[in-house]
A = this chain, B = another copy of it.
Amino acid sequence: MTGKELAWTILNSSQVADCRIFTVHRNFSQRPRSKDTHDFYVLRCPNWVQVIPMTRAGEVLLIEQYRPGTNSVTLEVPGGIVDPEDKSSEHAGFRELLEETGYRAEKMIYLGRSYANPSIQGNYCDIYLASNIELVQEPNFDEHEEIESRLVPFTEIAGLIKSGAINHSLVVAAFYYLHLYEQSLLKA
């Protein structure tokens, strides 16, 4: 079978719940070959951005914040929703970095785009290396947001992932995109 033959067709979709940062929908869908139908539940969310902020000295700026999904405080990299006012995910990356940490990046280097969870979510997350960051102001948190930042030598990141201290799948994926980017620089 080809990808086209595996795909289903959405016949109709209804909203089940409005959860503010996402909505839940029930998609009545049909498998073209067998005409089999099924209702899939999916989330619609805005797209996201994540940045790996790096100082000239090779330190990564990690953040800690409360995450309601796991009801725990997680170690991550800055990021958030690409707002309608953001002209691009790159712009959202500059904005989120500044708001969450007070650091400004010299430039954003695009590393990749990963889909948060294709089985139930449609949105993607663009990933950037925020290079040559500098602290320029106090953080400016969103309501209900409270974030601690700390600089960690880049050489320690792999160990933090292996130990489970960093365990957010999107963040682990982000560091793999960075690794592949660095490998491509070495080969160039």
Interface residues of A in 159-185 (CB under 8 A from B): 161-162, 164, 167-170, 172-173, 175-177, 179-180, 183-184
With contacts A68-B27, A146-B31 taken as known, whether A117 is within 8 angstroms of B119 at the C-beta atoms is no
- B-contact bits for A118-160, CB 8 A (1 contact / 0 none): 1111101100000000000000000010111000000000100
Name the B residues within 8 Å of A112 (CB-CB): 161-162, 164, 167, 172
Q: Mark A32-73, 1 if CB is under 8 A from B, else 0.
A: 000010101111000000000000000000001111111111
Given contacts A69-B119, A148-B6, contact A177 B169 (CB under 8 A): no
A residues neighboring B (CB under 8 Å): 1, 3-4, 6-8, 10, 16-17, 19-22, 24, 26-27, 29, 31, 36, 38, 40-43, 64-74, 76, 112-122, 124-125, 144, 146-148, 158, 161-162, 164, 167-170, 172-173, 175-177, 179-180, 183-184
